[in-house]
Chain A
Amino acid sequence: MTDQAISSPAAGMATDVAGPAGPKPKRLTASRVGVYAFLIIAALFFLIPLWVMIVTSLKTLPEIRLGNLFNWPSDLTFDPWIKAWTTACTGRDCDGISPGFWNSVKITVPSVILSVFLAALNGYALSFWKYRGSELFFGLLMFGAFVPYQVVIYPLIIAFREIGIFATLPGIIILHSIFGMPILTLLFRNFFGSLPGELFRAARVDGAGFWQIFVMIMLPMSVPITIVAIILQVTGIWNDFLFGVVFAGRPNMPMTVQLNNIVTTTTGIREYNVNMAATILTALVPLAVYFISGKWFVRGIAAGAVKG
């Protein structure tokens, strides 16, 4: 190992008088080994089920029945994936999971845009345009972050029915936007609160108004935090099951609900390979979001943590 420089005093060399010099030699200590071992085990813990899902989705049903859960398929087939996407039965209809995918897109994209925009605006107003009662408003909003969904579902059903948006696409979009508001507003408020107030005052002196400051100065600065907000919302809304099944309405059922229908369909034999393929397909969007933007996510959170 490289600890020669440290052990050499015993050898009594002339240069020893100087003591340690240059880069400190790196040593593999017991605690390091422990940390790595733990990380590897944790990674395996999450990767093994994924591996099983992938190989199972690529096997034919007879091969699955043979057992050998971890083996690479001897008879590689993509049919389960095609079936899951196009012809698997989700209850009565047998169009696969693709309609659910498009429903989820139709729910997620507008919800994310609406909620992130509103939260940015909210956080901006709460940080820079304090009005009478704005602190109280923020406090109430934060309270909303802790309300368990189950408690408010029934009142919300009635309210949405009265307004006429229950079981409609706009209804579920509005619902997701409302429930994203507390945490996203907190995120943006903390971010804007960490910006120097002089920036805002300079813009006021320059004659910019509420919207000009927001659009021309604040939004361009908030790219990292916006990406964090988008990631939070995309994964949150895409993975949502409860609101989708209750509020979306039959024609708009999101992918998670249809996946559930495929997996729990009890007629005929259980097609494990199709179920696995459908599950992976459903998880693909959040996975992709994390892989593409993980770096931004960490950066954005860190920016908020250090300055906020």
Chain B
Amino acid sequence: MEHSVSIKDLSLNFGHVRVLEHLNLDIDQGEFLVLLGPSGCGKSTLLNCVAGLLDVTGGQIFIDGKNVTWEEPKDRGIGMVFQSYALYPQMSVERNLSFGLRVAGMKKDEIDRRVARASEILQIEPLLQRKPVELSGGQRQRVAIGRALVRDVDVFLFDEPLSNLDAKLRSELRVEIKRLHLRLKNTMIYVTHDQIEAMTLADRIAIMKGGVIQQLDVPSVIYNKPVNLFVAGFIGSPSMNFLHGEFTGGASPKFVSQGVNWDLKGYETLPSTGADKRQATIGIRPEHIAINDEAKSMPVTIDVEIEVVEPMGSDTLGWVRIGGESVTFRVASEIDLQVGQKLTLGFDPARASVFDGNTGERL
């Protein structure tokens, strides 16, 4: 199948600052791809390149098999939704929606038909005659999505569309965007630095750092098998526990650290990893740590004493110290944890991740 969007060897500099370097990315028809990364890693820049709002320094961009590297934004078959909504303040909602169509010289009845359809999908019909200042944040963002919708494009670009909204509205609109995608089946590229948005919306997630895609995969793989320390630490909340020590690869992998000597039987080392001993970091997700009875059945166990307890409502976080390093674990909120309480923790090495101490790559 032809890729919907294909980015080949893309580079972009702002003067001497290299923001993107030789970036490659293929996005399938109808795929929901999320670009996730810390602030300043080049997500918006990449999106603006795809939209044609920035001239690329090198490389090519294909949309639906057509080379659009030199095309104007309007000729690329894209619609874009911005973080600040970017509604035209002097125009009513209706005229905001129809602006692009009017500029393109479309017939009046066709414009009306499309505006009616978009406002029906987004449920903004009662707002059509209002000015943007008279709308709430959520309504504004709906109109902004509608402006992309009326243009009947193949590819939707979202640049942090929900980050100006409060938490409740954000989760509501998140679901709506998901519904929209199920209904329209367009290709969507969605920039965010909210990992919950990324995990819930994405077909695939591209994790970016410093203008480079670190890992591109489905959410579950990103979550369970991060390719390096950066991805492992970036995804997940509360974040993954890291212990530093020595790792021996091969058929019966082992992890040794201060006060710890773990047999990691069941951990799948990558074929490229040798059997030799090396500095390494083991990463274990707080929710993959079991306690007491459940822990006893785990391949790896350790006895600890609780230092801090954080009740979160839906669940409870416990903080302990293993080999001088802080480790958190997560249990259901019914379980009563006490500071100073002694208990046994356990985990399954198959669900852990081990990273090279020098390169940070998965072993």
Q: Mark A residues whose CB is within 8 Å of B.
A: 196, 198-199, 201-208, 212, 216-217, 220-221
CB distance A199 to B88 under 8 Å?
yes
Give the contacting residue for A201; candidates B80, B88, B144, B147; CB below 8 A. B80
The number of inter-chain residue pairs (CB within 8 angstroms) is 60
Q: Which of B98-106, B268-276, B280-288 forms part of the interface with chain A?
A: B98-106
CB distance B84 to A198 under 8 Å?
yes
In the bound complex, residues from chain B placing their C-beta under 8 Å from that of A199 are: 86, 88
Q: Mark B residues whose CB is within 8 Å of A.
A: 48, 51-53, 72-74, 78-80, 82-84, 86-90, 99-100, 103-104, 144, 147, 151
For A217, give the chain B residue with the smallest CB separation.
B88
In the bound complex, residues from chain B placing their C-beta under 8 Å from that of A206 are: 74, 99-100, 103, 147, 151
CB distance A204 to B73 under 8 Å?
yes
In the bound complex, residues from chain A placing their C-beta under 8 Å from that of B144 are: 202
For A212, give the chain B residue with the smallest CB separation.
B103
Return A186 CB to nearest CB of chain B, in Å: 23
In the complex, what distance in Å separates the CA atom of A198 from the CA atom of B83? Answer: 8
Dominant SS among interface residues on chain A: helix
Return B212 CB to nearest CB of chain A, in Å: 25
Return B84 CB to nearest CB of chain A, in Å: 5
Residue contacts A-B, CB under 8 angstroms, 25 given: A196-B86, A198-B82, A198-B83, A198-B84, A201-B48, A201-B53, A201-B86, A202-B86, A202-B87, A203-B99, A204-B74, A205-B51, A205-B73, A206-B151, A207-B73, A207-B74, A207-B103, A207-B104, A208-B99, A208-B100, A216-B88, A216-B99, A220-B90, A221-B89, A221-B90
In the bound complex, residues from chain B placing their C-beta under 8 Å from that of A207 are: 72-74, 100, 103-104
In the bound complex, residues from chain A placing their C-beta under 8 Å from that of B78 are: 205
In the complex, what distance in Å separates the CA atom of A217 from the CA atom of B53? Answer: 18
In the complex, what distance in Å separates the CA atom of A198 from the CA atom of B52? Answer: 13
In the bound complex, residues from chain A placing their C-beta under 8 Å from that of B104 are: 207
For B79, give the chain A residue with the smallest CB separation.
A205
In the bound complex, residues from chain A placing their C-beta under 8 Å from that of B83 are: 198
Of all A-B residue pairs in the complex, the 5 with the closest CB atoms, nearest first, are: A207-B74, A206-B100, A198-B86, A202-B86, A220-B90
In the bound complex, residues from chain A placing their C-beta under 8 Å from that of B74 are: 204-207
Q: What 5 additional pairs, Cβ within 8 angstroms, besides A196-B86, A204-B72? A: A203-B99, A204-B73, A205-B53, A208-B99, A221-B89
Residue picked from A199, A207, A217, most chain B C-beta under 10 Å: A207
In the complex, what distance in Å separates the CA atom of A221 from the CA atom of B86? Answer: 13
Residue picked from A196, A198, A212, most chain B C-beta under 10 Å: A198
In the bound complex, residues from chain A placing their C-beta under 8 Å from that of B151 are: 206
Residue picked from A196, A202, A205, most chain B C-beta under 10 Å: A205
In the bound complex, residues from chain B placing their C-beta under 8 Å from that of A221 are: 89-90
In the complex, what distance in Å separates the CA atom of A201 from the CA atom of B84? Answer: 11
In the complex, what distance in Å separates the CA atom of A204 from the CA atom of B78? Answer: 11
In the bound complex, residues from chain A placing their C-beta under 8 Å from that of B87 are: 202
Return A289 CB to nearest CB of chain B, in Å: 25
CB distance A205 to B88 under 8 Å?
no
In the bound complex, residues from chain A placing their C-beta under 8 Å from that of B80 are: 201-202, 205
CB distance B82 to A201 under 8 Å?
yes
In the bound complex, residues from chain B placing their C-beta under 8 Å from that of A205 are: 51, 53, 73-74, 78-80, 100
